[in-house]
Structure 1
């Protein structure tokens, strides 16, 4: 059995098409098809449903796919271990971050690079469901997301980063309540731009208004954090956001923030797929994550 055959199988599952999978592997379609057939012959099972086109993996094929991903991940770990043994710092790490936690990225990247100089990092933004799916498929190494959205019996390991805190944010010229904090009734009277209703952060905000028995004046809803930041800087609307979703330089951007109370918010943490073998890079970064204390960084002050 050759490792290239396992690579063919993973590519075929990813692209769901023989020609595109072959192109991604840098081989011809007949070569990829022959490699898959050879793998089936060696294992003595049918791995894919085939006619003239790819029709998905068999039950046995899905089990082989899991094993193939673990095997190639272990091989990558072995290569990285050899590199570390030669004192060559580096490696690659892919991280998925939900929009309300995007301001954790600069902090995490700085800490990760301190731990592993020369580390190549890829950061992708997505919903919690998308990040969890990518972790399962081993397209991401780490995710930053709400920990209460991770099933307790799921195949994930988690580390808490901070408990989310919400603030009312607006420009220096915006009409905002006076005082050290703001209630939901006061916020409901303001023209607001909020995350879309499908997003968990918005659902937390909606729960606050519902508990207070008030109906907010919502002018704009979006799943884009950059749109919210743009509206805040323009001074047209206010917003209610977790601290980690505020523009990076609140004061420099001419924005004011007021903690909104009471607010019951979940923990945000770092998540990874539970695996029998971790690469040296991921093992080192996970150890670093276990010592992080980000609560003070993303507190409402």
Structure 2
């Protein structure tokens, strides 16, 4: 119900009819002795008691899944599905975690989603994923364990023949004066870039916006577009062989990107193994 925000859709996900679903919620309310759902013509959210029950329910189901994984791992080794959500600028680096992980635990499968930083944390705290990869030092993380993976530095990715293309380094004030393609404003990477450009006295008016790194990269590769891109991402895509990746200074901004998991004890075996892999990668 918390995820779907609609009685009909929630009932469908649970493979029951809507009357049966509503009756089950009313039975739970009678058992708890308090109303849990705010009912009007449509779903309006949860009561304070309902929010507290939801928090406990997520914790309980998470513990049940962790217990099942733990017991199964004793019989067959690590196995199951490991769900990860990551900010777009970190997607290309996930293979550095998943590839050695699967070499050690070949029965584990992975699901990787591209999300905004806010969605990463929401999915994590709702226990829809086991781990997230996001910024660690720009916006609040909440109650989670954080394992730094790398530092994000920003480059101007452009053609050598384009404006500023011949420079050894550029400033934020300078790149604010050329046409840019950037991530959409709901992305934390874009909010960081907006702040840096605004601090340099520039108004952010990109000629193209997208929530897809692939879209930005494909435009930059034409040699007719420029983009602000993390240094590590440009290296992973191999873009530096075709285009110029120019360091951006004044200021030289550095942001920590890392793995986040729920702060709980004990951890599920799948999550604990991912933390161990992240720790090895960091070394």
Same fold judged by TM-score > 0.5?
Answer: yes
Q: Determine which of 149, 160, 171 is the counterpart of 2:138.
A: 149
Instruction: Give ranges in structure 2 of 5+ residues lacking alignment.
Output: none
Distance 1:164 1:51, change over 3 A: closer
- Contact persistence 1:168–1:238 (CA under 8 A): yes
The corresponding residue for 1:275 is 264
Offset, 1:136: 2.0
CA distance in 1, matches of 2:154, 2:40: 54
In the TM superposition, what whole-angstrom CA distance separates every residue of 1:144-200 from its partner, at most 9, and x where no partner exists? 111123437x22221111111112212465455446544446645654323345544
Q: How far apart are residue 54 of structure 1 and its match? A: 3.9
Name the counterpart of 1:72: 61
1:249 positional shift: 3.3
TM normalised by structure 2 equals 0.84
SS at match of 2:3: helix
The offset of 1:267, in angstroms, is 0.9
Aligned to 1:227: 215
In the alignment of these two chains, the number of paired residues is 282
Residue in structure 2 matching 1:260, options 227, 230, 248: 248
Which runs of 5 or more structure 1 residues have no equivalent in the other structure? 1-11, 295-301
Counterpart Cα distance in 2 of 1:209 and 1:29: 51
Asked whether the 8 Å contact 1:95–1:124 carries over to 2, the reply is yes
3-state SS in 1 of match to 2:282: coil
Partner of 2:37: 48
Shift of 1:285: 1.3
Instruction: Render the CA deviation track for 1:125-145: whole Å, top value 9, x for unaligned.
Output: 122122222222222222211
- Equivalent-residue separation in structure 1 for 2:158 and 2:49 (angstroms): 56
Classify the secondary structure of the residue corresponding to 1:164: strand
Distance, in Å, in 2 between the alignment partners of 1:224 and 1:247 is 17
CA spacing shift, 1:59–1:203, aligned 2, 3 Å: closer
Higher mean displacement: 85-94 or 188-197? 188-197
Number of the residue aligned with 1:236 = 224
TM-score normalised to the size of structure 1? 0.79
Report the secondary structure of 1:291's partner residue.
Answer: helix
